[in-house]
Structure 1
Amino acid sequence: MHGNNDAVHLIASTEERRPYKVYTERNLDSIEQFLALPEDMQFDIRVVASVLPFRVNEYVVNELIDWSCVPNDPVFRLMFPQKGMLQPGQFDTMAKLHRNGATAEQIKEAARKIQHSMNPHPAGQLALNRPMVDGKIVSGMQHKYRETALYFPSQGQTCHSYCTFCFRWAQFIGDDELKMAATEASTMHAYLKQHPEVTDVLFTGGDPLVMKTRLLKEYLEPLLAPEFDHIKNIRIGSKTLTFWPYRFVSDDDAEELLALFSKITASGKQLAFMAHFDHYQELKTDVCKEAIKRIRATGTMIRAQAPLTRHINNDPDVWVKNWETQLSLGIVPYYFFVARDTGAKHYFEIPLAEAYEIYRQAITRMSGLGRTVRGPSMSAGPGKVEITGIADINGEKVFCLRFLQGRNPEWCYRPFFAKYDEKATWLDQLEPAFGEEKFFFEDEYQAMFKAADTAAA
């Protein structure tokens, strides 16, 4: 596939540069379609956008959203804040401030209180996941699972657009205390040299592909040196194929980016593009399909994941079409997540029993190639916990669970059971089955917290 680089170069050079135009809370009135919405809907969006981060670009507005279906269009709900994303009391507080002409500072202060109540950093990511070099915490890096380290380059701590359900929303609200970002690539490289057990590095954000290629090279190219031979897989977590596929087609450094991808794969390392498609509607444009072709032509593997979210994709038919479309474009369906316990979770969450049934109905309609999707998976504090079934064992109805990843690798693929609860939406709402007092991993997990507190002190 590497032989296609010349073709990619020629195609890219004939494309006309597409200007990138972004809209935020401050210039909502610049969106023609927004101004055509009913005034009460416009007001609701403004109110919620003053609490939850809002950012969208003209490609999404003009080519992905079907405005004739608003407010039920899935991409509209994915991008534009909805009234129900705040609890009734929270919405009323913010709406009153807006109606009474409160100052920007008063609105910001009230919003901060709500934001800090929305579990901005779920799964213990600040307390437990922070690696150290020479006794100092490596800022902007997480190491939760033995083989995989996550890195948050400071230049990638935004996205081309923001998903309303994003579990990393706290990165985008301007509160430095809630940010995870690194400013020096050298510190990451030093940590990786000291940890040969790490085989995978995931560059994430925000979205690292908002960065110019020249900056991305500073992080990625050193990993091709012999001292990093233990790094077998480089992953880039990005939703750019949905939000700005022109990044790979007509941006001024699109060719340079594709050349970097080719250089990585030619080195013998796997480059995995961890894409994110919540709905098949995101895959419909010609430019998205062209971008996918170009990425794959570099030898890069594209895997796709997304959470199950109410109001956007809580229908097995949507997932079947989503996965089938991905397969037709050469993308590997990867993870089917449960919506994280953060932000506007109450708006998006779906009981685990319902999530499992949606997954089961969808996956049984896929061929073997499409059954690569793992889930429903909760990225919880102890690890990634998969619901493998609902069963009746000795007269007790239970959830059958296992770790796909764990803070202790020995926890993985060991089955355990929780009492069936039709209302539970997250791991911490489940209770052990069969009269057990606690799940098998709980004591060790709590000991990890204590050890982290001691180290921080």
Structure 2
Amino acid sequence: MTLVNDAAPAVRSTGRKFRAFTAKHLDELTARAGLSPEQQLETRAVATVLPFRTNQYVIDELIDWSAAPEDPIYRLVFPMADMLPAEDVAHLSDLLRREAPKAEVDAAARAVRMKLNPHPAGQMELNIPSFGDGKIPGLQHKYDETVLYFPKQGQTCHAYCTYCFRWAQFVGEADLKMAGDDTQQLRDYVLAHPEVTSVLFTGGDAMIMGEPVLRRYVEPLLDLEQLESIRIGTKSLAYWPQKFVTDPDADAMLGLFEQVVEAGKNLAFMAHFTHPRELEPLVVTEAVRRIRDTGAVIRTQAPLIRTINDDPAVWESMWRTQTRMGMVPYYFFVERDTGPQDYFAVPLARAYEIFRTAYQNVSGLSRTVRGPSMSATPGKVCVDGVLDLMGEKVFALHFIQARNADLVGKPFFAKYDPDAVWLDDLKPAFADRFPFEV
């Protein structure tokens, strides 16, 4: 594994062409991790429900195969049998074992998916506004200032994270997918809503697209004076940093970034890093340098994930390294209420302690990070601490963002619950209802 060496300069390597691995490669890869045939079958059973995709870079540079399947990066990308209820895994395994018809397997997998809250926070019901003759495919508008857009060509990733709250985008079910490709509709919507100052391209991963395709979405927005920023949500720096160094269109992509900045927009590159090992390869250092040289600002974010990064030392290391590399720590999220949340979630009380311990050990330059933050239906709720008030132990909370902008920044309280992992698990303290409840 190539690691960052303080004495060695980050150089531009020749790299390799991108090669993806999908569910058809699972037996070969999980055998390398030492799984038994039965464990391999269970892994394939989980992969009928949750998506699996990785690539040669992740396999060769990031996973410590001597520690698999306990290695955190292995757990970050490979399905695990206990991510789903045991009875569901057993049923799906039995179907695969007896080589049941594909239609029967697909139906059983879909039944399990529908129990996993595939679209949390009202993504399909509350976030998609009506405009003109109907709704705009691929557009979400949850907060006044920010529009999210899901480009049709960006609905995959260089590799999938097992915890991903957008997992429903990748399972091949059209009614679960959000995607659009009408750039004029996007432009018209933004113009009709002067409160919008930022457009976030997300997915999937917007950086799976080539430069000509991304340009088709970005360029029509550059002359809109109301826009202050264009954001790109991506895990490409962790899973395929070659995108910005050795890929055929790397220079053209960086040229597009420069064009955004020259148009007077803040190009916010929203980079997802889940574990310090993703920052170690030299090619990441070079990719970060090249992106920053365009004038883009790289902001970093990730959720707290049990078995992968639920240790304050992991977060301290990430934030220190990111700050040293010129990136801006931005969000420390709580695992969302979707997919295998029961497997990955960390109780809010523990999440706060992990955040606070890491936060108090870094400099003020790294304390740009906010959290623990829950991206819940009413907005982004931050856990500010655990307090004893008027003889009662409570969580102190506030909204970082809210559907109702009047709630932003106002503190409120919830009864302390050591087992709570999400906003819906909490009960109001000192009031009959939470401020977002009507």
Normalising to structure 2: TM-score of the pair? 0.95
Match of 2:351 among 348, 355, 368: 355
| 1:358 shift after superposition | 0.8
Number of the residue aligned with 1:455: none
Match of 1:375 among 360, 371, 374: 371
> Residues 190 and 212 from structure 1, CA distance in 2 versus in 1: closer, same or farther, beyond 3 angstroms?
same
Number of the residue aligned with 2:259: 263
| 1:341 shift after superposition | 0.3
Number of the residue aligned with 1:175: 173
Return the structure number with greater helix share. Answer: 1
| 1:299 shift after superposition | 0.6
Give structure 1 stretches of 5+ with no counterpart. Answer: 1-10, 444-457
Q: Deviations over 1:151-199 (max 9, x none)?
A: 0000001101100000000000000000100021111011011111101
* Distance in 2 of aligned mates of 1:288 and 1:356: 29
> Residues 420 and 29 from structure 1, CA distance in 2 versus in 1: closer, same or farther, beyond 3 angstroms?
closer
2:421 counterpart of 1:425? yes
| 1:31 shift after superposition | 4.1
Q: Deviations over 1:242-294 (max 9, x none)?
A: 11111111111111000000111122111000000010011111111111111
Identical amino acids, percent of aligned pairs: 52
| 1:30 shift after superposition | 5.2
Report SS of the residue matched to 1:359.
helix
Q: Deviations over 1:355-389 (max 9, x none)?
A: 11111111111111111110000000000000011
| 1:91 shift after superposition | 1.0
CA RMSD of aligned residues (A): 1.4
2:102 counterpart of 1:104? yes
Match of 1:120 among 118, 121, 125: 118
Match of 2:74 among 57, 73, 76: 76
2:86 counterpart of 1:88? yes
* Distance in 2 of aligned mates of 1:34 and 1:300: 39
For 1:327-346, what aligned pairs fall within 5 Å after superposition? 327-346=323-342
For 1:386-425, what aligned pairs fall within 5 Å after superposition? 386-425=382-421
Number of the residue aligned with 2:432: 437
Which ranges of 4 or more aligned residues in structure 1 deviate by more than 6 Å? none
Normalising to structure 1: TM-score of the pair? 0.91
| 1:88 shift after superposition | 1.2
Match of 1:192 among 186, 190, 193: 190
Number of the residue aligned with 1:3: none
8 Å contact kept, 2:122–2:377: yes
8 Å contact kept, 1:128–1:144: yes
* Distance in 2 of aligned mates of 1:38 and 1:320: 36
* Distance in 2 of aligned mates of 1:273 and 1:19: 23
Number of the residue aligned with 2:127: 129
Q: Deviations over 1:78-130 (max 9, x none)?
A: 00000110111111111111222212221111000000110000001111111
| 1:313 shift after superposition | 0.4
Name the aligned partner's letter for residue 335 of structure 1. Answer: Y
Number of the residue aligned with 1:44: 42
For 1:188-337, what aligned pairs fall within 5 Å after superposition? 188-225=186-223, 228-337=224-333
Give structure 2 stretches of 5+ with no counterpart. Answer: 1-10
Count residues in correspondence.
428
| 1:35 shift after superposition | 7.1
| 1:326 shift after superposition | 0.8
